[in-house]
Amino acid sequence: MEKIIVRPNGPLRGNVRIGGAKNAALPILAASLLGTEDIILEDVPKLKDVEIILEVLRGLGAKIKYEGNLLIINSKNLTSYETNYDLMSKMRASFLVMGPLIARMGIAVNSLPGGCAIGSRPIDLHLKGFKALGADVEMTHGNISAKAKKLVGKRIYLDFPSVGATENIMMAATLADGETILENCAMEPEIVDLANFLNKLGAKITGAGTSNIKIKGVEKLFGARHQIIPDRIVAGTFMVAAAITSGDIFLDNIITNHMKPIIAKLEEAGAEIITNGDKLQIKGREKISPIEIKTLPHPGFPTDMQAQFMSMLTQAEGQSSIIETVFENRFMHVDELKKMGAVIKVVDREAIILGKNKLYGSKVNATDLRGGAALILAGLVAEGETQISEIQHIDRGYEDIVGKFKNLGADITRI
Ligand code: EPZ
């Protein structure tokens, strides 16, 4: 199995360009099933998770090809409405094809998405939305089928502002009869990017980015050209790398407005951040100040940045706290950081991190995508060599992470 080896090598310095966001690309690729003409996408990140959803789309009859760094998709003639089991079990986000398929084909059959390491990850809110729009939803031995001759618009209140449920129901509603109003829905920037893309296809969506989205159903959706927004979590990961190594790095292709909760917390921890258009410079300080973090749906602090900040806070001068409110089991990286010498205590949803503690290079395992990134960050400042296994998790969400860190001066290799 491949491993990533990291050794300390002083402050990181240099430039990194941030690529397209995984969590915008995946729903937009699912939404391309709704289009009946060519769709041209720019800045789709080259990730394992993207390859999986492209396989799912091909299995449904979509024609897909790369032209340079453009991805061309045509879903005019879909030939199936069933997502094959092993692809679905590989990635939960494949479930995002359900909404578009019900809208386009009147039927969708998916296997239950694999729960993943960070929690049970139910889909009850997705199914509640499909039922509200008039679909007959049935569970038969591990498969879910949803049928509807024609979906009918409805006012739907989400018990929790679930990102996936907001996306799935919004996509289904684009071809429904009449108007759908989604209340208490997710407000992440990736939701806005998806709504912008759908509107380019001919949908009529307003309110994306607020907690109320209105979707006026239309007869048909067409084609479009769209550039995926930059990945705020990848950007945040490199910003934490600058803070933890007292480095000085420049990030290109940033949407500052998407970075606000991350910028606020890094400044609170002592980093100096300068933004200018789509560029951002971050300088880490010698001393990192302890902080309190509580993960929340956007615009709160993103759960996808929790592990990365935990690595940094092992080096803060004092006691920090991180409360994870979004997922019920997203502290698996704690044990790996403790192997390196971190002093962290977890009680229920709160992790108390005592700093400043020296970290020592060790053999550790990536437990999930962001937990893996957190171990690279810890390895940048640990004494000795850190060997990270199970790095397939990291490759799901970070394009060429070793190359990018190497360009910033890190002593990092993939073996
Ligand atoms: C999206 O996952 C992201 N994935 C996750 O990023 C991210 O952590 C999460 O949103 C929160 O921001 C993609 O966009 C592909 P949720 P999603 O539905 O849609 C509960 C990463 O690192 N819930 O907002 O699955 C659920 O159990 C990944 O890139 C229900 O109870 O997140 C969880 O506790 C990790 N019922 C909470 O809501 C439902 O029907 C958040 O889930 C749906 C969700």
Angle between helices 163-173 and 124-132 (to 10 degrees): 20
- pLDDT band at residue 113 under the 50/70/90 scheme: confident
CA angle 140, 90, 101 (to 5 degrees): 55
| Structure tokens, 168 | 């799935």
Q: Give which of 342, 380, 385, 387 is closest to 363, Cα–Cα.
A: 387
pLDDT at res. 89:
78
Cβ of 26 closer than 6 Å to ligand 1, yes or no, is: yes
Pocket test for ligand 1, best of 97, 121, 159 (most atoms within 8 A of CB): 121
pLDDT at res. 53:
95
Query: Which residue's C-alpha comes closest to atom 25 of ligand 1?
Result: 164
Distance, CA of 84 to CA of 87 (rounded, Å): 6
pLDDT at res. 121:
66
Q: Give which of 118, 61, 117 is closest to 84, Cα–Cα.
A: 61
pLDDT at res. 118:
63
Distance, CA of 226 to CA of 129 (rounded, Å): 27
Cβ of 373 closer than 6 Å to ligand 1, yes or no, is: no
For residue 78, count other CB atoms closer than 10 A to its CB: 16
Residue 230 CA, ligand 1 centroid: distance in Å: 19
pLDDT at res. 86:
82
To which residue do tokens 């491949």 refer?
A: 2
pLDDT at res. 116:
54
Cβ of 98 closer than 6 Å to ligand 1, yes or no, is: no
Query: Which residue's C-alpha comes closest to atom 4 of ligand 1?
Result: 23
Strand partners, 353: 320, 344
Query: Which residue's C-alpha comes closest to atom 1 of ligand 1?
Result: 163
**What tens digit of pLDDT does each residue of 178-192 get?**
999 999 999 999 999
Distance, CA of 321 to CA of 291 (rounded, Å): 7
Q: 363-367, long-range: CB within 8 Å, 24+ apart, which pairs?
A: 363/339, 363/387, 363/389, 364/336, 364/339, 364/340, 364/388, 364/389, 365/336, 365/389, 365/390, 366/336, 366/390, 366/391, 366/392, 366/393, 366/394, 367/117, 367/332, 367/333, 367/336, 367/393
Asked if residues 413 and 5 have their Cβ atoms less than 8 Å apart, the reply is: yes
Region 199-223: mean pLDDT is 98
- pLDDT band at residue 149 under the 50/70/90 scheme: very high
Distance, CA of 396 to CA of 327 (rounded, Å): 19
Region 334-354: mean pLDDT is 98
Angle between helices 369-379 and 306-313 (to 10 degrees): 20
**What tens digit of pLDDT does each residue of 239-291 get?**
999 999 999 999 999 999 999 999 999 999 999 999 999 999 999 999 999 99
Query: Which residue's C-alpha comes closest to atom 33 of ligand 1?
Result: 327
Q: Give which of 228, 200, 222 is closest to 27, Cα–Cα.
A: 228
pLDDT at res. 140:
80
Cβ of 93 closer than 6 Å to ligand 1, yes or no, is: yes
User: Is residue 166 exposed (0-12), middle (13-18) or buried (19+ Cβ within 10 Å)?
Assistant: buried
Asked if residues 210 and 186 have their Cβ atoms less than 8 Å apart, the reply is: no
Residue 185 designated active-site = no
Pocket test for ligand 1, best of 22, 23, 128 (most atoms within 8 A of CB): 23
pLDDT at res. 112:
80
pLDDT at res. 1:
87
Query: Which residue's C-alpha comes closest to atom 19 of ligand 1?
Result: 164
Region 109-125: mean pLDDT is 74
pTM flag (> 0.85): yes
Residues 6+ apart with CB under 8 A from 209: 187, 189, 191, 192, 195
Asked if residues 154 and 123 have their Cβ atoms less than 8 Å apart, the reply is: no
pLDDT at res. 401:
97
Region 306-327: mean pLDDT is 98
| Structure tokens, 239 | 């910003």
Which atom number of ligand 1 is nearest to the Cα of residue 126?
40
Cβ of 164 closer than 6 Å to ligand 1, yes or no, is: yes
The alpha-helical segments, DSSP class H, found in 180-314 are 189-201, 232-244, 260-268, 306-313
More confident residue, 94 or 276: 276
| Structure tokens, 170 | 């919004």
- pLDDT band at residue 119 under the 50/70/90 scheme: low
Q: Give which of 71, 139, 73, 69 is closest to 100, Cα–Cα.
A: 73
Q: E strand or H helix at 181, and its extent? A: strand 179-183
Cβ of 109 closer than 6 Å to ligand 1, yes or no, is: no
Catalytic residue among 78, 116, 152, 352: 116
| Structure tokens, 171 | 């996509």
**What tens digit of pLDDT does each residue of 38-80 get?**
999 999 999 999 999 999 999 999 999 999 999 999 999 999 9
Q: Give which of 367, 316, 322 is closest to 342, Cα–Cα.
A: 316
Cβ of 159 closer than 6 Å to ligand 1, yes or no, is: no
**What tens digit of pLDDT does each residue of 191-200 get?**
999 999 999 9
Q: How many helices (H) and strands (E) does the chain have?
A: 14, 23
Distance, CA of 40 to CA of 371 (rounded, Å): 33
pLDDT at res. 115:
52
Mean pLDDT, the chain, as a whole number? 96
Cβ of 403 closer than 6 Å to ligand 1, yes or no, is: no
